[in-house]
């Protein structure tokens, strides 16, 4: 295993940014940057052993500094949407930025995806290589209460697993929901759309939403709907029955808090397979509905609609305003912790 660090450029105010390359004994290679604690690339072999990058992104820091699509980003303080851009804790109302119509999305106008995280260590052992990053979100940042100390660790193993570990502590009661917003294409980034990928999601239910994608509070069955991926189906097989594509939160089966099977995706052309396991109660399937070719990604390739899919492991959208949902409140003295594992193979 190997962990390598190199410069990745500077922020607009002159702060140095780095990119970290983790490589295992089989040549599997992951690159992350401490700007936005962002997953830059994941090179995995196809059935013939040829490596290909399966994550949408940019060749240089410049793309990440100006992007609005959250490609590869760690998002927070609250991933996904908060309805009405406000929530209440202990009878105190906290107004947030309305950056998605009337609602709050992915932490606001300057969320964790725009933050420069500090790197505490980049280490390689015989079996694992990891990079650990920290970020202190100050009390009042983007409207949220409490100084929130966050840690994000990317770990690559010799078993071809990419592990994402999140931790957070606060000095004041707050809400937190962290996830990674990588867009995946197992055929290779920029190699067409993902509508032919076979997808299975370990979820019998999903959270019903209104036109603004804010949950009503009702948890409904996926059976008999185009959202049903309880058995492997092509992503595009029924996407035409949705409004613009999938952007739905699924209730992952099993006990939240336990690391359990969440989803499996396969590209028949390359044979690449990605399995996702998570401790989170939900996962947002998003199919790049708003990509329109205007983003020039790696190698100058344009990312058209459905050029990638996201599986954002998370708590449910608008949980701070839905007492019936799994809670996202973090108290002083408690530690928020979450783990998601991507396991790669071929068939």
User: Which of these is catalytic: 104, 181, 277, 342?
Assistant: 181
Nearest to 71 by CA among 335, 337, 308: 308
For residues 38 and 117, what is the distance between their CA atoms, to the nearest angstrom? 10
141: Cβ contacts below 8 Å, ≥ 6 apart: 77
For residues 287 and 311, what is the distance between their CA atoms, to the nearest angstrom? 9
- Catalytic residue check, 161: no
User: Which of these is catalytic: 197, 312, 315, 342?
Assistant: 312
Burial of 245 (C-beta count, 10 Å sphere; 0-12/13-18/19+):
buried
Question: Going edge to edge, which strands form the sheet with 282-286?
Answer: 215-221, 205-209, 247-251, 282-286, 310-314
Burial of 299 (C-beta count, 10 Å sphere; 0-12/13-18/19+):
exposed
- Catalytic residue check, 304: no
Check: CB of residue 197 under 8 Å from CB of residue 279: no
Nearest to 2 by CA among 158, 188, 146: 158
Q: Locate 143 and state its tokens.
A: 């409207």
146: Cβ contacts below 8 Å, ≥ 6 apart: 139, 170, 171, 172, 173, 174, 330, 332
Check: CB of residue 304 under 8 Å from CB of residue 149: no
335: Cβ contacts below 8 Å, ≥ 6 apart: 167, 168, 169
For residues 267 and 273, what is the distance between their CA atoms, to the nearest angstrom? 7
Annotated catalytic residues are 181, 312
């Amino acid at each position: 295993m190997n962990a390598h660090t190199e410069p990745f450029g500077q922020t607009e105010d002159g702060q140095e940014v780095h990119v970290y390359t983790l490589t295992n004994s089989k040549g599997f290679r992951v690159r992350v940057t401490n700007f936005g604690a962002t997953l830059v690339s994941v090179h995995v072999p196809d059935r013939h052993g040829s490596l290909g990058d399966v994550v949408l992104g940019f060749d240089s820091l410049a793309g990440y500094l100006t992007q609005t699509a959250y490609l590869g980003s760690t998002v927070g303080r609250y991933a996904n949407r908060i309805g009405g851009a406000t929530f209440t804790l202990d009878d105190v109302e906290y107004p947030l930025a309305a950056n998605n119509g009337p609602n709050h999305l992915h932490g606001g106008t300057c969320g964790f995806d725009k933050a420069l995280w500090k790197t505490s260590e980049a280490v390689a052992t015989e079996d694992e290589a990891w990079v650990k990053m920290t970020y202190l979100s100050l009390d009042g940042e983007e409207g949220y209460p409490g100084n929130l100390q966050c840690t994000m660790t990317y770990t690559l193993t010799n078993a071809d697993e990419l592990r994402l570990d999140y931790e957070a502590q606060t000095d004041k009661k707050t809400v937190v929901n962290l996830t990674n917003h990588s867009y995946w294409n197992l055929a290779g980034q920029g190699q067409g759309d993902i509508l032919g990928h076979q997808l299975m999601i370990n979820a019998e239910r999903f959270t019903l939403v209104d036109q603004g994608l804010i949950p009503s509070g009702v948890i409904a069955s996926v059976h008999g709907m185009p959202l049903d991926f309880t058995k492997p189906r092509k992503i595009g097989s029924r996407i035409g029955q949705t409004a613009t594509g999938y952007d739905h939160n699924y209730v992952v089966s099993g006990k939240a808090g336990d690391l359990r099977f969440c989803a499996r995706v396969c590209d028949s052309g390359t044979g690449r397979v990605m399995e996702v396991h998570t401790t989170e109660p939900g996962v947002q399937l998003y199919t790049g509905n708003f990509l329109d070719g205007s983003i020039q990604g790696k190698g100058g390739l344009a990312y058209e609609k459905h050029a990638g899919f996201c599986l954002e492991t998370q708590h449910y959208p608008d949980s701070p305003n839905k007492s019936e949902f799994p809670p996202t409140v973090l108290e002083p003295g408690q530690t928020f912790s979450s783990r998601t594992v991507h396991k790669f193979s071929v068939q």
